[in-house]
Amino acid sequence: MFEDLSVSKVKGVGKKTEEALQNLGVYSVGDMLSYFPRDYVELPEPGFSPEKEGKLVSLMLRVDAMPVTRRGRRMDVTVTTGRSEGQTFELIWFRMPYVRSLVKAGETYVFYGRLVQKPSGYALEQPKIFQLRDYEERRKRLIPVYAASSEIKSTKIEKLVRTILSDPAFALMDNLPAELQKRQGLISRLLAIEGIHQAKSREALIEARKRLVFEEFFFFLLTMESVKEKQDKEKNRFPAFRDDFVEGLIKKLPFSLTDAQTNALSEMKQDIAGPHLMHRLLQGDVGSGKTILAFLLMAEMAHNGLQSALMAPTEVLASQHYETFQRLEEELSLDFPVILLTGRMTAAEKREGRKRIAEEKGAMVIGTHALFQDAVEFHSLSLVITDEQHRFGVRQREALSEKGERPHILVMSATPIPRTLAIILYGDLDISVIHELPKNRLPIKNAVVGPEWREKAYEFIEKEVAKGRQAMVICPLIEESEALSAENVTDYSALLKERFGKQIRVDCLHGRMDGALKTKKMEEFASGKTKVLVSTTVIEVGINVPNATVMMVENAERFGLAALHQLRGRVGRGAEQSYCIFVNTGDEEKNRRLEILKSSNDGFYIASEDLKLRGPGDFLGVRQSGDLGFVLADIYQDAELLKNASEEAKRILAADPELSSPENECIRQALDRKRDSFLENLNL
């Protein structure tokens, strides 16, 4: 099939470009077509206005002189000036000496860049350069912006996608029946792929996205149905809770469980003591106390001479759970084996860990993906718990559960999904909800401010660090974008290093770093070595730093409210008062949305309000769902599409469970081709 062709077959893809694309996860033509833009730019009509300072603007300027490159200590800066209606603007490019060959003195161009005010007047920073006719042509459509890298730019990806779409051999098989498309008001897959990459208007983009989001939900739900069928009413081989052991542990705890924790524990006890295996989701807001319940369940299994395993998404979180379990064992006078197994351990440490797992009864095993490697053999695995479970694909969960004789399954999530959506998404699981926080938790103090308050925020961070605390700053981008006006981790961390000086250690973290480097940077922050960590949303889960008391989120208007609440959950985990500063660089409407966060720390309330506030076109910018596993779909914004896809999946399976009818042949073929990748990648 055309989609299965190697990306190397695309005109313009040489060896270096192929390697750069592979680093982005793009190996085939199909991967390229599914590498959707992360944002879109509507180029404005050229014109100057002082109110646009700090924003991306277009100016039609006659270039005064050939650009000159000045060699700076930190970077090369290329400058020239341009005129429009008697006003002069400085044009500034950082690390781009080659622009000297792109413009000629005396010629007129359109420059698109960030407008800044300097002592000498207004300037455009990092402006893109357009010929007049080319600019007018581009204004007729939305310009896609792709997640790129230093090896391949967004404009190159855009060009390659255009090459594919213009290829005479380009053809896509539709994977939804015509009747279903008609019922749901969906355009064809072909039009959707063309529309998502080459949208001529917002309306066309919304229609393209609607089709692709529905498709993503639909096939996910069909896949989940097959998983559910396999596990329904499996016999319980590991009954427990036949005495009051756990009640005795609860009495010894230095704190009382909340009513919500007690109710959730009761539901899980009934499952594990009953005739069938437990398949349950434990959903609780950040800091609601899911970990202590996991410990109590695992201790109960150890009390019965059975093993249990807790799988965490990162090395740091696994290590933190290991330390917590050891501390709890000491406080409760227990001596069950607690074993840690992660990918970064030495070969000798891994051998020792695997040996203990294979031999020791009643072991409480904690680890990362390393737990379901072939070399790991459990002695008597009775319970599998996955923490921050949306990070693990269904296939990965199954791989770990298959290490035993079909153990009990508990998956934990801090993502506050409204119950109606959770029932659809987690159709293979029963649901328990912890909807209250421990009473000793100090509520996080929130502030929504404009960019003019940044300096005050920096001063506040300095004061907190002086008290021995730590801070996190979140940016939506990894590096400066050629099209997006938003803060990026690379430049922001450099700015703060210069602003704070050597007395405050600043470091940065983002998703393109390899796993070992990310783990190292998170460990250095968790240990207190790094005082201020500048990060993308990769920090959302997987780190517990009670000493961190300040979270500052730049361009907060570009994130969904639920995602912002998840980020906020990285602070407020210790005894000290914590703070979250949301920097809004958007309009008043965006500010009203952020006020909901300012007024509430309740993730479930925020998630439900998020649903009410999303409009049909409110999706340009950073993906809203964080790490919920979908490529394009957003469970909050696209809640109605999720419900519709669920109804269609049930309707079709009820009438044709095997998808054997001619009209459902396209569904069956797509599902056969994609089932494994759905299970691996759709991490719900």
Q: 445 burial class (0-12, 13-18, 19+ CB within 10 angstroms)?
A: middle
The CATH number covering residue 136 comes to: 2.40.50.140
C-beta neighbour count of 231 within 10 angstroms: 16
133 and 280 housed in the same domain = no
Query: Which residues lie closer than 8 Å to 239 by C-beta, 6 or more apart?
Result: 272, 273, 274
Long-range contacts: 202-206, Cβ < 8 Å, 24+? Answer: 202/42, 202/142, 202/617, 205/40, 205/142, 206/616, 206/617
- Per-residue confidence (pLDDT) for residue 268, from 0 to 100: 96
- Per-residue confidence (pLDDT) for residue 623, from 0 to 100: 42
- Nearest Cα neighbor of 631 from 6, 30, 122 is 30
572 and 499 housed in the same domain = yes
105 in a structural domain: yes
C-beta neighbour count of 330 within 10 angstroms: 10
- Per-residue burial over 590-614, b if 16 or more Cβ lie within 10 Å, else e, is bbebbebbeebbbbbbbbbbbbeeb
The CATH number covering residue 485 comes to: 3.40.50.300
57 in a structural domain: yes
DSSP 47-104: ---GGGTTSEEEEEEEE-S--EEEE-SS-EEEEEEEEETTEEEEEEEES-GGGGGT--
Distances (CA, A) of 301 to 237, 305, 378: 12, 6, 14
- Per-residue confidence (pLDDT) for residue 583, from 0 to 100: 92
- Distance separating alpha carbons of residues 650 and 606, to the nearest angstrom: 30
Q: Whole domain around residue 587: which residue ranges?
A: 445-600
227 in a structural domain: no
- Per-residue confidence (pLDDT) for residue 410, from 0 to 100: 92
Tell me the two tokens of residue 303: 């009390």
The answer to whether the beta carbons of residues 390 and 415 sit under 8 Å apart is yes
- Distance separating alpha carbons of residues 641 and 424, to the nearest angstrom: 12
- Per-residue burial over 454-464, b if 16 or more Cβ lie within 10 Å, else e, is beebbebbbeb
Which residues of the chain have a pLDDT value below 50?
A: 391-392, 616-627, 682-684
305 and 251 housed in the same domain = yes
325 and 461 housed in the same domain = no
- Distance separating alpha carbons of residues 96 and 403, to the nearest angstrom: 54
- Distance separating alpha carbons of residues 375 and 414, to the nearest angstrom: 31
428 and 523 housed in the same domain = no
544 in a structural domain: yes
Helix axes 489-500, 454-466, angle to 10 degrees: 60
* 96-147 pLDDT tens trace: 889 999 999 999 999 999 899 998 899 999 999 999 999 998 888 888 989 8
153 in a structural domain: no
374 and 260 housed in the same domain = yes
374 and 464 housed in the same domain = no
621 in a structural domain: no
Sign of CA dihedral 553, 558, 561, 564: negative
Sheet of strand 408-413, all strands in order from the earlier edge strand to the far edge: 338-341, 364-367, 307-311, 381-386, 408-413, 279-284, 430-434
* Residue where a domain terminates, one of 434, 469, 487: 434
DSSP 517-545: HHHHHHHHHHTTS-SEEEE-GGGSSS---
25 in a structural domain: no
How many angstroms separate the first and last alpha carbons of the chain?
29
270 and 368 housed in the same domain = yes
Bridge partner list, 551 = 472, 580
- Per-residue confidence (pLDDT) for residue 513, from 0 to 100: 84
E strands, 421-541, where?
A: 430-434, 445-449, 470-474, 506-509, 532-535
* Residue where a domain terminates, one of 376, 404, 434: 434
Query: Which residues lie closer than 8 Å to 330 by C-beta, 6 or more apart?
Result: none
The pTM of the full predicted model, rounded to 2 decimals, is: 0.71
249 and 394 housed in the same domain = yes
399 and 547 housed in the same domain = no
* Residue where a domain terminates, one of 121, 141, 161: 141
- Per-residue confidence (pLDDT) for residue 19, from 0 to 100: 94
125 and 240 housed in the same domain = no
536 and 487 housed in the same domain = yes
Q: How many domains does the chain have?
A: 3
